[in-house]
Chains A and B, each alone.
Chain A
Amino acid sequence: MENKKKMTKGATIKRLLSYVVSGYKLQLVVVLVSIIISSLVGVAGIEFIKYLIDDFITPLLGSQNPDYTALFNVIMMMALIYVVGVIATYIYNRLMINISQGVLNKIRKQLFEHMQKLPIRYFDSRPHGEIMSIYTNDVDTLRQMLSQSIPQVFSAVVSMATILVSMLTTNVYLTLVVFAMVIIMIFVSKYLGGNSSRFFVKQQEDLGKIDGYIEEMMEGQKVVKVFNYEEESKNKFDALNEALCESNTKANMYANILMPCIMNIGNLGYVLVAVIGGMLSVNGILTIGSIAAFLQFVKAFTNPLGQVSQQMNFIVMALAGAERIFALIDEEEEIDEGYVTLVNAKIENGKITETKERTGIWAWKHPHKDGRITYTRLRGQVEFENVQFGYEENKKILHDITLTAKEGQKVSFVGATGAGKTTITNLINRFYDIQEGKIRYDRINIRKIKKDDLRRSLGMVLQDTSLFTGTIKDNIRYGKLDATDEEVIEAAKLSNADKFIKNLPQGYDTVITGNGEGLSQGQRQLLSIARAALNNPPVLILDEATSSIDTRTEKIVQEGMDKLMKGRTVFVIAHRLSTIRNSDLIMVLDHGRIMERGNHDELIAKKGMYYGLYTGAIEID
């Protein structure tokens, strides 16, 4: 997964341009035409003056009663041309906004959509701030490039091409001098631009790092305070900040000196043309007028070149950003080769048929290779067969796990911290994929089940409760999006969250922020249980779901839970052994292996590890 090839600059540009071209073809054509018109009008302006003086003013010189009509007419004509130019300028500026903002919108959308499809592993290993920086900093650099740099560069190229044609028609040899000058300019640009781009890339990286650090420190702000770590965190930040400042300075410096270099090489070229031209004119090869004109062209030629070079740093920065954007978009998605889906079902005469109605009965739709489709009723039986798993390839966390949770059974995992309890549940919903062995759901290998459908059939209350900014109601409704208010309240009552919610200033409409400040850990857990209750799945996974709820509340929650668990297969991970006493099956885990299994009474009678844990007599860590 890590051997991603780094895209070349060319490929990045091509890919970026494909966003612009696809979807905006017509507008793009109009933009290009408008830019051409606008730059041609600009060049025409230079020609106009020469024409005006030679053809309209000079003839009038010395006349007693000058007739200004012709002059007036030509100026009016020029005014018309200028108006066209101004309109063209407005059109391309205006359309570029559509295009650039549209592209940005699309890119952000793609980023987010793709991010949703990435495996949990991806999020484990990356600081959130770094990911967020892609959405803001990197996308922002693209805006500058798309709306400003690209049209300016194009306009400059058009102007230069026009002037080049004029130069060539004036004198070929002098044009060669200009060519030589341009080659030197390109050389210098390449050197300076290369340096600049190297540091811009570094700058964006440093920015991402600093983002990640800020993000982390913000989230751990309480710990920072409790440990008086403000100074250290400042120092660490300062070091990162210093590194950013350095790359930032260097990148900007190379970019900044590019323009004066280009302009002054232009000036040197001008001298060269003047000297060579002068010599040619002394020898009578060139007329004085054409040298003068040519020199004007040289000046007019270097100006847009300077403009282009000034845009280079924006472009380089944007390309670095684009690379990071594309890297995320190219990140490998969660693999889902499943083809078994979950459908609403009807049972008639013992035969299962698919239906569109919400019958409350679900079935796995299993298409076979020979075209047959079979239906298996969703019951919630989960089996593990010789499952091996490790987060890293050569470090196994679970060894040879075999177990069966029959429909409606309550299976509990106990064991020391780090014994692998949470890991087991993360395998059922395929947050991680097992390396060896098989997990079956209703006798179907879970690899064959579409991930979305698999997860839809499982309810989870996780160790870390995550809430979203919005009302309490919205947060519970996350479990079932089309739930009515009554259903939401029903679920809250079931999990005993109703009581504290009613005490909040706005009840169910109280707005909470994402980190749920103001709610206690226990209250947040109650919300997350209510969410699962509303979801109403056949299989429930409760990962230390009640660890922060006081035992009194827990008792009441437990009653609700028992109601909720009825008829469901439930996996419980809990440290409070009192809550799992009534389990049908208790698995005692140690170092990733199942050491004992059985129900409470059996295990107590066995006087083994469970007994030890239960009485606190032995340390199984």
Chain B
Amino acid sequence: MSMSETQRPAGRANRRARARLKAVAGFLLVVATTYLGLVAVTFFIGRVVPIDPVLAIVGDRAPARVVERVRLEMGLDLPYYQQFWLYLKGVLQGNFGTSVLTTNPVMTDIRRVFPATMELATVGTVIGAVIGIPLGVLAAVRRGSVADQVVRIVGLIGYSVPIFWLGLLALLVFYARLGWTSGPGRIDVVFEYTFTPITGFYLLDAILARDWAVFRDVLSHIILPASLLGYFSMAYVSRMTRSFMLNELGQEYIVAARAKGLSETRIIWGHALRNAAVPLVTVIALSYAGLLEGSVLTETVFAWPGLGLYITNSLQNADMNAVLGGTIVIGSVFIAINLLSDVLYRMLDPRTRTR
């Protein structure tokens, strides 16, 4: 009896550690499989498309022996599975090949363009969440009121208006006519050569360098595209917040909270929203991931040197290495964000935690 009692805690701790290890291993397996699938699909799509990568490099007037030599150099005479194996080996070492268009390694290019996209997406998502959540809460609490209708109409417009049109309109009004903001691009030409980015996130870099002139300039560049993305994100977030809140406000624990004599403010923000936050995290994370893919249209309209623009340009120039690299990065971002939202979900909802 006494022996089993002294042994039990150790046994339990062991069992728990083993269970956790198993969970982590299972999770890694899932991630690895997802990655393998991602790389395989993008690779084979890249090989199946009717584009001759050799032609893209040597041009259409090259003599046949040059074409043949480049073909051999690129390993295109090998069977597909061998080509895939070589590619996979490269990817595992962080080598996505060289971009034909920029002649840089694809990885270097992505390291340059991805922060641009990420900065834009982050600011956009923050704007969307900071405005969208309170609006959704307001609409749910005042259901059927004028405020609710306004929020729904604003959301509906955000859903249905094409972003390139709104983007051009915003440029016309705020840049060309009013001159309140800067135009396309990330940073003014004046600063382009004096400012050396460290992280690639210009806002952050300007703060790190304590260069407030640059900060103001970067801000006035990002504000339009970020507001635009923020508006679309806001439309989605406010709509989802409204529906999650309506669901929570109808629950019995809200009646109980009222019976306790709590203030409406506390009931709405402390009880209902705290519960609605659980599914909301997933919604916001997915919308963030969507923006991280690179909003091609926004980046094109605003000449934003991000991932979306990079992939589009590469695709138009048959630069398959760049396209594949970009696609894999997007896939990784999706996996990472899903992971993050899983973790957040667990933090927010005690029922999903294992004890």
Answer yes or no: do A and B interact.
no
